[in-house]
Structure 1
Amino acid sequence: MRSVFFLLILTLFTIICASPAAATTPTRDASAAGRLIRLPNGLAVYIIRDARFPLVCTRLYVRAGSANEAPGQAGISHLLEHMVFKGTEHRPKGQVARDVEALGGYLNAATSFDKTWYMTDMPAAHWRMGMDVVKEMAFQARLDPRELEAEKNVVISELQRGEDSPMRKLYENLQTAGLGNTPYGRPIIGYADTIRAVTAQDLRDYVKRWYQPRNMLLLVAGDIEPEAVLAHARKLFGDLKNSGDLPVPPPLDLADAAGGPRVEVSRGPWNKVYLGIAFPAPGLRDLRSVELDVLSYLLGGDGTSAFHRKYKYEKQLVDSISVDNMSMARAGLLTIVAQLDAGKVESFWRELTADLAALKAGDFSAEAVRRAKFNLEDGMDRAGETLNGLASWKGSVQFDLGGEQAERNLRFTQRNVDESQLQNAMARWLAPEQARVRVLAPEGAALPDLEAILQKNWPAGKGAQKASTTHASAEKHEVIQLGEGRTLILIPDATAPYISLDLMLPGGNALLRPEQQGLADLTARLL
């Protein structure tokens, strides 16, 4: 999770059970070094000793969310998360929460597109209880059919309540349109008919398929002794077995990710117009998405950003406007969202589409770019002041980003984003043919022909200016002949903090006589 702004948007696409957790910002506190151990069954255990507070945060992550679901079972991940609070093999309904809260602890769970996680925050003296509880919830839920039928009504009511929040509804509309042809094109909570159709056996089958130790991460952070935590983890989780092969998600074609009509207006009981544009974008581990993080901040990250200054303060066309880059595992979504009066929609839309068509990286000063990168990194660091924030970010680093080296790569990339990279990002991702516009408007409000204005100001095939050809990664390589058949090739690329060297020599089995076959492999192994 790359910024405070991304987290605010992701919160809209994360379904949390039990009592709402306090909002926190993840941290990239490099000083909080952890220890990563993998048990023989494949379970990753990440232990962070942090004695600043007499607390322990435990998180059990499962790589299974709404993007893993079959379309006919949309919402099963979130429904399962609800059901783990309805009793386990060892505790009746409600007892888990009572046991945790009786010790001064906190219990919760959440579901997103790519994962489900179970969490406890406990006084340090009771850290074992925190670990016991997340294990029991994930692997020993009773999944009683009668409780399931009752809980379906709760989830469907939750789904219906989401329709009452115009901003939440707008973001969901943007998500389902901008990524409509991908597994991210369904809401995390699912649909009423798919929720109704889930059986207790479906939930058990889902757990068997996805809740495998090698598909999970246990994180324990706080005032603990790491060896004691590791020993307890082995005791609790060491005997768990993997039930079979896990499917490998196929790559997504982001060029064909968007679905549905380009512009769509919904009417409802709202007093304002809520207008949004969504563009498919790269996923979390794709470092090209870092360029979009910086661009998003420049356009709408805070009160001094370009769109805030122009549309809110100078032109006074909107009540609010934001630009955010949300990154999931295999795809992302860049969104521009505004709230405004119906009478100002035409002026705003004409100006915005013209600005997007003419947008170029040179519009931003070097100081503005530097400030954006500084604020993004500051947002990543500040929550190290809380143990919950530390645990949340470090869990994301290990489980989502791919580890501490991935975090270092991301930081390096962000610090080195330059004008040419921003220009390339605009040309590649801000394409009008990929845009999906969704509007929530009051009943009876007169709106202009948004599609016609879009086609006129920003016709398909006209991206946000031409891609730069001067980026370091695209610079021409240098070939140096060293003589005697030796060639040195130098390829500049500043997008990752590495120097990579390959030495290739003529050879191999094709040059050997039949009785010498295997000599090349033996030589390589010896070297």
Structure 2
Amino acid sequence: MPRRPTPNPVRRTTLPGGLRVITEYVPSVRSASVGVWVGVGSRDEGPSVAGAAHFLEHLLFKSTPTRSAVQIAQSVDAVGGELNAFTSREHTCYYAHVLDTDLELAVDLVADVVLRGRCAVEDVEVERDVVLEEIAMRDDDPEDTLGDVFLSAMFGEHPVGRPVIGSVESISSMTRSQLHSFHTRRYTPERMVVAVAGNIDHDRVIALVREHFGPRLVNGREPVRPRKGNGRVPGQPSLQLVNRDGEQTHVFMGVRTPGRHWEHRWALSVLNGALGGGLSSRLFQQIRETRGLAYSVYSTIDTFADSGALSVYAACLPERFDEVVRVTTDVLADVARDGITEAECRIAKGALRGGLVLGLEDSGSRMHRIGRNELDFGEHRSVTTSLERIDAVTVDEVNAVARQLLARPFGAAVLGPHRSKRSLPKPLRALAG
């Protein structure tokens, strides 16, 4: 007897006002994750309000017309759930993770915060101090600090080169009026996606969203199209130095890449895995396992709509910095010239497949996947489709990507006890100008 086809667990509905609702039914869990994704991030800010998207994300949790900050916290604590948010360069997400029986509460809380957060004057002043503390905490973490400095070195005055968190100067001077205006102008239904995953029913989710978004669902608006950008980043990457006493020198170096809509993005992910994405990667083996030069070394990809960066990070004792740079630049040169091997390609593809599937073991990760896909691409991309795209990558494609990207101008950022750029290793200065 033929098997009945399995119904599609992912469903999508566009409500009046352009609000998109996407759900994934996961019958094996007893939880529900609700996220309201807003297609607004730090790259949408002017320089005078740098950090506004992140500041606002903090502020909206302080009070709504019907709940204080304490009542918001008590509501989620009483059901053992989680309520939180994060801001990136291109979007902001407010989310709740609860038992499936508390789905209605989760939709209510997230919608209340996102739509009706008050931006009260007294709350602005309290949260201003919290954000300034967060900046201080970032500054105390060399790797976090250097990550922001590196993107500045890569993208200069382009909006993605600015820190999501803003600066002490911009946060200190930002007014309640500016934050309230940012909220009312940017947080509109056509820029939003409601993503829900877990042991849930799509029609029930639609009814709850209609109830809690109510007057915002006005006819005549269409969803905002996925962000494309203009594809042009002015200037060239640079070399930046943060002179700071410490036990280690930290370095990021890398090249610009095309954005997330690039046809070779999966090959780029495989290249990243082979370079420094795992324990068997070239950089990890050469720098840590073979020579013992550093504890932390890896490569990573930052991807935006119209641009991105492939970068390498390492932290080591200052007296070992020259050798770490030499080995790293040698590895990059070898890969640019000769490419990676079939075995390296196979291992990197296997790591990608495993990471993708194992990373979707809970409702929260599934909510993040469907919400981000809808906002970034305007469609749902199934796990099966992604696995097929990974499988289709060939070593020749990866090596063509390596030749293309690693021939581009490098940028770099260094943090450590180095008084001037002239004191940095010659291979780094030659590579990053």
Match of 2:320 in 1: 344
Distance in 1 separating the partners of 2:92 and 2:294: 36
- Of all paired residues, the percent bearing the same amino acid is 24
The whole-number CA distance in structure 2 between the counterparts of 1:445 and 1:114 is 34
TM superposition shift of 1:240: 0.4
Deviation digits for residues 390-426 of structure 1, max 9, x if unmatched?
A: 2222222222243224866654433222233223222
Q: Does 1:252 align with 2:227?
A: no
Task: Give TM-score scaled by structure 1 length.
Answer: 0.75
**What is aligned with 1:389?**
365
Q: CA deviation at 1:275?
A: 1.4
Counterpart in the other structure of 1:155: 131
The 5 Å alignment of 1:169-188 reads 169-188=145-164
Q: Which amino acid aligns with 1:234?
A: R
In 1: Cα distance, 2:194 partner to 2:180 partner: 21
Compared CA separation, residues 412 and 258, structure 1 to 2 (3 A): farther
Answer yes or no: is 1:438 the counterpart of 2:413: yes
Q: Does 1:453 align with 2:432?
A: no
Once the two structures are superposed, residues 401-458 of structure 1 have per-residue CA deviations (whole angstroms, 9 ceiling, x without a partner) of 432248666544332222332232223222352x1111111367998543x43466x5
TM-score, structure 2 length as denominator? Answer: 0.90
**8 Å Cα contact 1:345-1:447 kept in structure 2:** no
Q: Could you tell me how far 1:353 is from its partner in structure 2?
A: 2.4
**In structure 1, what is the Cα distance between the partners aligned to 2:402 and 2:215?**
50
SS of equivalent to 1:359: helix
Report the CA distance between 1:148 and its aligned residue. 0.4
Asked if structure 1 preserves the Cα contact closer than 8 Å seen for 2:19 and 2:217, the reply is no
- Call closer, same or farther: CA 1:55–1:143 in 2, change over 3 Å: same
Distance 1:182 1:438 in 2: 17
Tell me if 1:272 matches 2:248. yes
Shift of 1:347: 2.3
* SS of match in other structure, 2:256: strand
The corresponding residue for 2:37 is: 61
In the aligned structure 1, how far is the partner of 2:333 from the partner of 2:340? 16
Q: 1:192 maps to what in 2?
A: 168
Return closer, same or farther for 1:212/1:257 CA change in 2, 3 Å cut-off.
farther
The answer to which structure, 1 or 2, has the higher relative contact order (CA under 8 A, 6+ apart) is 2
The whole-number CA distance in structure 1 between the counterparts of 2:392 and 2:201 is 39
Partner of 1:373: 349
Measure, in 2, the Cα distance between the counterparts of 1:388 and 1:66.
24
> CA distance change for structure 1 residues 253 and 409 in 2, over 3 Å: closer, same or farther?
farther
8 Å contact from structure 2 (residues 239, 429) kept in 1: no
Alignment CA distance shift 1:442-1:41 (3 Å): same
CA gap 1:297/1:257 in 2 versus in 1, 3 angstroms: farther
Superposition pairs of residues 297-308 of structure 1, within 5 angstroms: 297-308=273-284
1:429 is matched with which residue: 401, 405, 410? 405
Partner Cα separation in structure 2 for residue 42 and residue 175 of structure 1: 33
Is 1:123 the counterpart of 2:99? The answer is: yes
C-alpha distance in 1, partners of 2:17/2:388? 34
2:224 is equivalent to residue 224 of structure 1: no
Picking from 181, 184, 198, the partner of 1:205 is 181
Letter in 2 for 1:357: A
Structure 2 CA distance for aligned equivalents of residues 267 and 123 of structure 1: 48
Q: What secondary structure is seen at the aligned counterpart in 1 of 2:104?
A: helix
Q: 1:485 maps to what in 2?
A: none
Distance 2:260 2:49 in 1: 25
Once residues 290 and 358 of structure 1 are traced to their aligned partners in structure 2, the CA distance between those partners, rounded to angstroms, is 21
Deviates more, 1:221-230 or 1:82-91: 221-230
Check if 1:98 corresponds to 2:77. Answer: no
Q: Residues of 1 paired with 2:318 and 2:408: CA distance?
A: 23
Please give the alpha-carbon distance, in whole angstroms, between the structure 1 residues aligned to 2:287 and 2:53.
40
- Alignment CA distance shift 1:384-1:397 (3 Å): same
Determine the C-alpha separation between the residues in 2 that align with 1:348 and 1:369: 24
**How large is the Cα RMSD of the aligned pairs?**
2.7
Summarize the Cα distance change of 1:280–1:374 in structure 2 as closer, same or farther, 3 Å threshold. Answer: same
Q: How big is the shift at 1:200?
A: 1.9
Letter in 2 for 1:420: D
Q: Report the equivalent of 1:325.
A: 301
Matched AA of 2:416: A
Shift of 1:237: 2.0
Q: Which amino acid aligns with 1:413?
A: R
Tell me, yes or no, if the aligned pair for 1:182 and 1:257 is still in contact at 8 Å: no
- Residue 112 of structure 1 pairs with residue 91 of structure 2: no
Q: Secondary structure at the match of 2:179?
A: helix
Q: Based on CA coordinates, which of the two structures has the bigger radius of gyration?
A: 1
How far did residue 335 of structure 1 move?
1.1
What CA deviation, in whole Å up to 9, does each residue of 1:149-193 have, x standing for no partner? 221111011101111111111111111211224210100000112
Alignment of 1:45 with 2:24, yes or no, is no
Q: Is the 8 A contact 1:174 1:436 kept in 2?
A: yes
- What is the total number of aligned residue pairs between the two structures? 425
- 1:100-144 per-residue CA deviation (whole Å, 9 max, x = no partner) reads 211222211111111111111122222111101111101111111
Q: 1:443 to 1:280 in 2, by over 3 A?
A: closer
**Dislocated runs of 4+, deviation >6 Å:** 242-249, 443-447
Cα distance in 2 for partners of 1:363, 1:203 equals: 49
AA at the equivalent of 2:320: K
The aligned residue for residue 236 of structure 1 is 212
- Tell me, in whole angstroms, the C-alpha distance in 2 between the residues paired with 1:412 and 1:332: 23
Structure 2 contact 282–331 (Cα < 8 Å) conserved: no
Whole-angstrom CA distance in 1 between matches of 2:213 and 2:374: 19
2:46 to 70, 73, 82: 70
Matched residues in 1 for 2:274 and 2:39: separation?
33
Shift of 1:66: 0.5
Select the structure that is richer in helix.
Answer: 2
